[in-house]
Amino acid sequence: MSVMRQKMADSIRFLAADMVQAANSGHPGAPMGLADIAVVLSEHLNHNPKNPEWLNRDRLVFSGGHATGLIYSLYYLWGYGLEIEDLKNFRQLDSLTPGHPEFGHTKGIEITTGPLGQGVANAVGFSMASKFVANQVNSETAALIDHNVYCLCGDGDLEEGLSYEACSIAGHNKLDNLILIYDSNKITIEGSTELSISENIRMRFESQGWDVLEIDGHDFEEIDTAIATAKANTKPTIIIANTLIAKGAGKLEGSHHAHGAPLGDDVIKEAKIKAGFDASKTFHVDADVMARFRVAIEEGDLCEREWNHRQKTLPLMEQNEALTALQNPDFSRIDYPVFEKAEATRGTNGKIMNAIARGIPSFLGGSADLSPSNKTNLNDMGIFPKGRNIYFGIREHAMASITNAMALYGPLMPFSATFFVFSDYLKPAARIAALTGIQQFFIWTHDSIGVGEDGPTHQPIEHLSQFRALPNFYVWRPADGAENIEAWKTALTMTKSPSAFVCSRQNLAVLPHAVRGEASQGGYLLSSDEGATITLMASGSEVALALKVKETLNAKDVAVNVVSVPCYDLFIEQDASYMKSIIKENTKTVAIEAARGLEWYRLADTVIAMDTFGASAPAGQLFEKFGFSVDSIIKKIN
Ligand SMILES: Cc1ncc(C[n+]2csc(CCOP(=O)(O)OP(=O)(O)O)c2C)c(N)n1
């Protein structure tokens, strides 16, 4: 048995080494160090290479996304459809094997990783998603959802602050199906981890409520026993696997020089000879090794068929209905509120979210300890894992990485919430959501200097520009409740994009319009005059201000159009004829926004925006001070 396992592990090692050598770029060290673990993990993993979307599969996250030599070798060997040619094209243009694993690009990849630490939080998210769905669909006697979540991580992942946040949440929630395998090779790019970290990982995880196992990560029996123990555990488990980076790579074994550079032909040849492989062959896998790995296809098919059978048995009928309801959100069941009086958009947004939650059983989420301010509590919906309100604690980065994974889990529509200014703390996860095309909803309230007395630390200035610069990310800043509803209606249909709802702390007047479908195009003509010479564009709280400016100018016989732009990103995607119908030619274009505003120069001649940080004072005084008053704006237009 162990002779075969050794041959399988060495086959992975040399595929990875050959890939990096051929590409003349990549990371051979981690794949070679993890190869033994990967072989044993293959024996435990329940998955179906022919149906990577099977709901009850074990989830496998590679938090060290740089280990693509290992990842693609495994998906090739397991039979996910990658061919040897794809491995030869590693890191090349348009290949199926890019530098870091990309969800939706290569079959089997559960989530895009590369920014260290995020994968650990994603694994926590997959586990949390499974716990919620299991609570909805399992009964005491029958389980539809009973899979495990595995995550491979390295020193870098555990040095990242994000892993502390995420593992703390995992321990607190007793995520017993979560198994973190820590590739403890004590090497990062710059050298030994002794240079930068000296804490006791065992004690750290124990204090976070985890079970800790420690093994020799090159001993097949120890790996096997540890994984079996972890599967049976009632807590999340970390397996500290002591390994050698680039195991089997001769003089480079254990060296940080093997982390991220080709090993060199000579080293690879010597290593192959030492392992009893034919050194003249590259990208080669013996038939017996291939056959052993490809067992995954038959076993996976059997697993899924057994599960399908389970699903059809009588005691599960009710659970099946619950699962079907989660999987098929019916948006016609949402009874949207009507807003008739001035209200902060954080308030209207909270009411809309509650309406959505009442109609859509898969809608769930939480805030980083700000739900009373964000207005995101889902009333009468209970607390996670049974209910739909998740208490993330003050852990924004983990929160958004967790909701990324929850969204990819399958049947769930998650949201996460915080103050807009603290979106900084979760930006890396928002970026992955946009890059990957994950539909999750970011609720970001307290959207401008309108925050008032809390002062400049709490007043977002550059954030709208930052998130509008992110491709495939849609930032909504509604001007009132009706626009807020349009924003949600549009965002719910955008299943391949994250959407953010940037909402005011302060009350905003109801605009003089009925619910306007045009908001779904990002921007629309809210109020227009025959022969207008000026077009005012604004979002959120500045729309009402623009209307007041128009009123004053109208009194001076100046004709003005006001364009409300609840979603700048969508607006600039509209075709030229739509844009021309909204921003009339030969009008002086002016954008008004209590934010940095740099992106408005694409649409406007004059931009009235924030050039500095805000200040601590009542919001009304701040709008005056920073030039967001009718008089000040009219002066700037002239
Ligand atoms: C957030 C983040 N910072 C920096 C990097 C660059 N980086 C990639 S791998 C790595 C070292 C990781 O060390 P370890 O996890 O021990 O991996 P190993 O050396 O075992 O391959 C660094 C700093 C990154 N990918 N993500």
For residue range 96-129, what is the model confidence (pLDDT) as tens digits?
999 999 999 999 999 999 999 999 999 999 999 9
**What is the residue with the minimal CA distance to atom 9 of ligand 1?**
66
Using an 8 Å Cβ cutoff, are 532 and 559 in contact? Answer: yes
pLDDT of residue 315: 76
Nearest CA to 381 out of 356, 402, 407 is that of 356
Q: Is 259 in the pocket of ligand 1 (CB under 6 A)?
A: yes
314 falls in which pLDDT band (50, 70, 90)? Answer: low
Q: Determine the average pLDDT of the residues in 33-44.
A: 98
Task: Look at residue 466 in the predicted model and tell me its pLDDT.
Answer: 98
Residue 244 CA, ligand 1 centroid: distance in Å: 16
Element (H, E) at 241: strand 237-242
Q: Is 187 in the pocket of ligand 1 (CB under 6 A)?
A: yes
The span from the CA of 479 to the CA of 504, in Å, is: 9
- Among residues 443, 620, 638, 462, the alpha carbon closest in space to that of 545 is found at 620
What ligand 1 atom has the least distance to the C-alpha of 245? Answer: 20
Give yes or no for residue 16 having a pLDDT over 90. yes
Q: Is the CB of 155 under 6 A from ligand 1?
A: yes
Q: What is the pLDDT of residue 571?
A: 98
Which atom of ligand 1 is the closest one to the Cα of 158?
A: 15
**Ligand 1 nearest-atom number relative to CA 30:** 21
Mean pLDDT rounded to a whole number for the chain: 97
Check if the beta carbon of residue 293 is closer than 8 Å to that of residue 284: no
The CB of 28 under 6 Å from ligand 1? The reply is no
Distance CA 269, CA 516 (A): 68
pLDDT of 515 above 60: no
Cα separation, 573 vs 579, in Å, equals 9
Closest-lying ligand 1 atom to the alpha carbon of residue 160 = 1
Which sequence positions are flagged as catalytic?
396
**pTM of the model as a whole:** 0.98
Indicate if ligand 1 lies below 6 Å from the C-beta of 334: no
CA dist., res. 411 & res. 56, Å (int): 12
> Residue 307 has what pLDDT?
95
Task: Please tell me the predicted confidence (pLDDT) of residue 228.
Answer: 98
Q: Return the C-alpha torsion angle 271, 277, 281, 287, nearest 10.
A: -140
* Predicted local distance difference test score (pLDDT) of residue 311: 85
Question: Distance, CA 322 to ligand 1 centroid (Å)?
Answer: 41
* Between 564 and 319, the higher pLDDT residue: 564
Kindly state if the Cβ of 460 falls inside 6 Å of ligand 1: no
Banded pLDDT at 512 (limits 50, 70, 90): confident
3-state class (DSSP) for residue 226:
helix
b vs e for 271-306, b when ≥16 Cβ sit within 10 Å of the residue's Cβ?
A: bbeebebeeeebeebeeebeebbeebeebbeebbee
Contacts of 99 (CB under 8 A, 6+ apart): 25, 26, 68, 91, 114
Q: What number is the average pLDDT over the span 443-464?
A: 98
The pLDDT-based confidence of 384 (bands split at 50, 70, 90) is very high
Spacing, Cα 117 to ligand 1 middle (Å): 9
pLDDT exceeds 70 at position 517:
no
Q: Which token pair is 374? A: 């964000």
Does 397 score more than 70 pLDDT?
yes
Residue 97: what pLDDT? 98
The answer to whether residue 556 scores a pLDDT higher than 80 is yes
Please report the beta strands in 340-485, taking only residues with DSSP state E, as ranges in sequence order. Answer: 343-344, 363-367, 389-391, 413-419, 441-445, 474-476
**Ligand 1 centre and the CA of 158: distance in Å?**
10
How far is CA 482 from each of CA 485, 509, 519, rounded to the nearest angstrom? 5, 11, 9
d(CA 523, CA 526): 9
pLDDT digits (tens, 9 = 90+) for 212-222: 999 999 999 99
- The span from the CA of 501 to the CA of 69, in Å, is 39
For a substitution probing ligand 1, which of 70, 116, 245 has the most ligand atoms within 8 Å of its CB? Answer: 116
User: Which pLDDT score, from 0 to 100, does residue 316 have?
Assistant: 77
Span from the CA of 153 to the centroid of ligand 1 (angstroms): 10
As a whole number, mean pLDDT of residues 437-448 equals 98
Exposed/middle/buried for residue 203 (C-beta within 10 Å: 0-12, 13-18, 19+): exposed
* Residue 227 pLDDT class (50, 70, 90 cuts): very high
- The HSE-up count of residue 455 (CA atoms within 13 Å, CB side) is 2
